[in-house]
Amino acid sequence: MKPRVLQKGRLLPAMEKVLKEEFDAHMLANEPDADAFLRQCGGEFTALVTSARFGADDAMMAAMPALKAICSFGVGYDTIDIDAAKRRGIAVSNTPDVLNDCVADIAFGLLIDVARGMSASDRFVRRGDWLKGAYPLQTRVSGKKLGILGLGRIGRVIAKRASGFDMEVRYHNRHRVSDVTFPYANSTQELASWADFLVVASAGGADTHKLVSAKVLQALGPQGFLINISRGTVIDEAALVDALVNKRIAGAGLDVFEHEPKVPEALFGLDNVVLLPHVASGTHETRQAMADLTLANLREFLSTGKLLTPVS
């Protein structure tokens, strides 16, 4: 008999096809009452396939007493209750590394866009405003100071991209990284006060909730730009909106938001912010690699009891 696997939320069609072919996979989203279904049938499943968007909380794990593994499509796992999983002896995997390049590309795309006003100047042309006069001068990127908040897998690739722009790099983590030569800032506020561009690449979760506070934005200052490809919860969003509206910082490039897909409407009319719908890993190549790794983790666990990329 095929292993019984529960799928929470929609995934790539090709990935869902494989799940149905290789496993006895059931789509929770198809149930009119998911809670009632879990109460009745939750004990039938030994593995859960979810994503960084949908996650899995303690209540869901409690409703699945035979659950042994959660395989998540995505690098972030702040939507999965890791403490509850550990307490219940449930192994958790994510999909690190395969999305580093595309996320770093978007970070630099946002950085260049907001600094040079690319999206805003596109709107300027489309409105016919070029016929009335020249577009205002913008900010140079090359040779500037780049602060990276979170020098993990993605942060390191962002730093690598920065070398192509002759940028000076510094970083802040909870702990120093031993195998890099970039100078370390002792706090987020210290990093922000130094940087021309502050890129947020840290993990989400309770430990980083509103780490970029109003004081950090004040330290970044009216000439500084903020880029976020991490999680919306890492930034005090209300403080960020206030800083952008009142030009306390120069601008921001945002791929993530605190309550996405809801985005603060106060940002819609601003030309000093670029807004993306959480698409940093959104390429055919990267999403396929994420699907392949999620499936590989599932296969490995069901055959050996181990995961290829366990969440530590």
Note whether 4-97+285-304 and 100-275 share their fold: yes
Those residues whose C-beta lies under 8 Å from the C-beta of residue 247, and which sit 6 or more positions away, are: 222, 272
The whole-number pLDDT of residue 269 equals 95
The number of angstroms, rounded, from the C-alpha of 183 to the middle of its chain's C-alpha atoms is 25
CATH topology assigned to domain 4-97+285-304:
Rossmann fold (3.40.50)
Look-up of token digits 């939507």? 79
Domain segments of the chain: what residues? 4-97+285-304, 100-275
Give the global pTM.
0.90
Pick the CATH number of 100-275 from 3.40.50.10490, 2.40.50.100, 1.20.1050.40, 3.40.50.720: 3.40.50.720
The whole-number pLDDT of residue 120 equals 98
User: Which residues does the annotation mark as catalytic?
Assistant: 231, 260, 278
What token pair was written down for 113?
């866009």
Tens of each residue's pLDDT in the chain, 312 residues = 899 999 999 999 999 999 999 999 999 999 999 999 999 999 999 999 999 889 999 999 999 999 999 999 999 898 999 999 999 999 999 999 999 999 999 999 999 999 999 999 999 999 999 999 999 999 999 999 999 999 999 999 999 999 999 999 999 999 999 999 999 999 999 999 999 999 999 998 888 999 999 999 999 999 999 999 999 999 999 999 999 999 999 999 999 999 999 999 999 999 999 999 999 999 999 999 999 999 999 999 999 999 999 996
Burial of 33 (0-12, 13-18, 19+ CB in 10 A): exposed
Rounded to 10 deg, the angle between the 13-22 and 284-304 helix axes is: 20
